[in-house]
Each structure stands twice: as C-alpha cells, then as structure tokens.
Amino acid sequence: MKATILQSNLAKALNQVSKIVSSRTTLPVLSNILIEAKKNRITFSATDLEIGIKTSTIGKIEEEGDITLPAKLLTDFVLNNSDETIELTVSENKAVLRSSHYEATINGIAANEFPSVPVLEKESYIEINTDEMMPLLKKVAIAPATDETRPVLAGVYFQFNKQELILAATDSYRLAEAKAELSTEIGEKKIIVPTRAVNELLRLVGTADEAKISLAFNDNQISFKIGDSYIVSRLIEGSYPNYQQIMPTKFATNIEISYGDLVKAVKMSSLFARDSANNNIRIKISKDEIEISSIISQAGEAKSKIASKITGNGLEIAFNAKYLLDVLQVLPDKEIIMSFNDGNSSGIVKSKGLDNFIYLIMPLKVE
C-alpha cells in the first residue's frame, strides 16, 4: 500500500473515528484503526464491537492495500505534524509515514484480523433533514441514565409514527421529550439507541456540512450516514417505560421568567450547593417574584430574587441544580416557562414558543 494524503484530511478522518477506540480491550486489534486504500479513496474504520464508525477521504493512491495501526499513536503523530501532505507506505504490517520534515515507522496488525463494521441494507435507508432532527436530539441527549443498572434508560428512545418522530430520554430523575414532523413518511417503529451512539452522531454532524442524514435500522442495529461518515450501533433490547403516564397535564402554578436572569441565578446558587448531597437549590415562589437560593452548606449560601410573571399558588420546591442547568444550556435564549403543582411533585421546564420540547424534573426534599 502506498498513498499520499493531505494532513488536514487525514487529521479530520482520524479525529472522527478515533473517539470510540478503547485502550482497555482484550483484543489488541480493537485499539487500532483500519486503513484501506482503494480507487482514490482512503477509508478509516474503528469499532468496539458495540459501535462501528467509518469515514473516507480522497488521496493519491499509487498502490492499493490495507493495514490496522494503533489509534492513539497514529492520531498523535498526524495532529502534531504541520506539513501539508503525509505519505503512507505499508509493507509486512509496518507503516512508514513521511512528510517534508518528519518520518515515523509504526507497527501494525494485519487488516484481516479487524472485525468488519456492518453495513445495513441500502433498501432500508431513510433520509431525514438534519435541521429536522438534530436540534431536538441534542436537547434530549442530556437526560439518559449514565449507568446501565437499567439498560433501557441508558439510551434515547426513538418512536417513528408515519411523519412524526418522538425522541425521549430519562434517568428516572428527569425526562426530556421532543417531537418533530418529518418531511418523509416513515412506518411505525420503536427503538432505543445507546447514548454513546447518539453522542457520536451529534459530534459528527457538528463537523460535517450535510443537509441530510441517511438512517437505517433492523431488529438489532441502527446506522446513520452523514456525508462520507457512517456510524452503526447495536440497539438496546427491551421496552421503554410508558413515561407519558407520569406527564402532568394541569398545573397549580405557572411562571414566566427571563432566560438570562434564571441562568445567572441558578449558576450563582449552584456554586454554594456543590458540597451538598444532591447539589440542592431551593426555589421559593411568591406573588410576583421567585427567590433561588442554595441550601445552607459549609461553603455558605447565596440568594437571588427575580421579578417574574406568576399565576397560581405560591410554593417552595428544591431541585438538583445540575438538572436545571443542563436543560437551560440547550434551550434558546427566550422566556422560560416553569410549571408546578406542589413542592413534592414533578415540574415542567420549557421555552416559550417552543412547543415541540418539554423537560420534566423531579423535586428533592425541601430541607
């Protein structure tokens, strides 16, 4: 194998695939990236057997071939190389990388030892506009569980219903739900996509300039294609909880509050709540203002008062500050609507005018 690649193209490709490579694996080849040179395209692949990723770039190929090379060493060498082009020559499972000022030899593993990255049937592909799905997926991706004691909660729920897509995620302490009307009609399907695959998709879309995502799934896998990049992941088995039954439909108290004022107040109180058991902050709602304060801790306490438009009853309620900040960071800078029934029941946070996203948060005990 012999190929010459622009350093910028090589660095971008390696950055895209190297994120899922694990340094802790019993199979040494899984710590490597597969490189295949064929027909003026150079393809890079990585997998941890749960998620697989591929991307390709153009290059000058003098001799076709393939090899797997250690992901970290290869990526570090390329990222620290400031030359315009890098020549890659492979012989007997060794790769020599040459540029104007640098040369390195890296020991690899034969490509035939690398597990194949599955490609789902093309007939099952569905095209979805990036701007239809990605903004909502980004909002929902804050809420899945971070542990796998309940595997179905460690992912994002996708429900396709003709031209409607419902996305949901919960860790049992908060719940995010988003809805999108799709330009393409899709049959009914319910799947759970691992959070890692969702985050990889969001990362790739953030580095690509593509208007559409090609999505496909079968009984146990899902794939996303964005430009020259492709992700495939196993689905999470099991049934997603019927979360709709816990969604409140009526509220005793409704607050309309400035986005900027709320963010500043929550951040201020969270500084003093960090050493409390659950990062507690208290919200006290009165006639025409809310008071946000930290629970008294060893560090001290903070209070902020914000004039607000309030209808309904006054109350006191406590939340984990992180859960509030997480949702505020993905909402647009508009007026925020917060709705409650009492200090012991879940509350709703949403952005005024944004009707396709809702965030439910469970309260903590008011100390």
Mark out the alpha helices in 218-363 (DSSP H runs): 259-273, 321-328
CB atoms within 10 A of CB 108: 21
Measured on CA atoms in the order 75, 81, 84, 88, is the torsion positive or negative? negative
pLDDT of residue 274: 78
Per-residue pLDDT, averaged over 115-128, amounts to 79
> What letters, b where the CB count within 10 A reaches 16 and e where it falls short, cover 84-101?
ebbbbbbeeeebebbbee
What integer is the mean pLDDT of 249-260? 94
* Stretch among 8-12, 22-26, 73-77 having the lowest mean pLDDT: 22-26
* Mean pLDDT, range 159-170, rounded to an integer: 92
Q: What number of CA atoms fall less than 13 Å from residue 307's CA on the CB side?
A: 0
CATH of domain 2-113: 3.10.150.10
Q: Quote the pLDDT of residue 121.
A: 74
Q: Which fold has domain 122-245?
A: DNA Polymerase III; Chain A, domain 2 (3.10.150)
Average pLDDT of the residues of the chain: 91
- Rounded to an integer, the average pLDDT of 1-29 is 92
* CA-based radius of gyration for the chain: 25
**CATH 3.10.150.10 domain extents, the chain:** 2-113, 122-245, 249-361
Q: Please compute the mean of the pLDDT values over residues 8-24 and round it to a whole number.
A: 91
Rounded to 10°, the helix 7-18/71-79 angle is 140
Of the candidates 122, 133, 130, which has an alpha carbon nearest to the alpha carbon of residue 159? 133
Helix or strand holding residue 301 (H, E): none
Per the CB < 8 A criterion, the answer to whether 233 and 185 are in contact is: no
Provide the residue type at 124 as one letter: S
* Spatial CB neighbours of 106, under 8 Å, sequence gap ≥ 6: 69, 70, 73, 74, 77, 94, 95, 97
pLDDT tens-place string over residues 125-149? 688 888 888 889 999 999 999 988 8
The hierarchical CATH code for the domain 249-361 is: 3.10.150.10
195-207 vs 130-140: helix crossing angle, rounded to 10:
130
Could you tell me the pLDDT band of residue 124, with boundaries at 50, 70 and 90? low
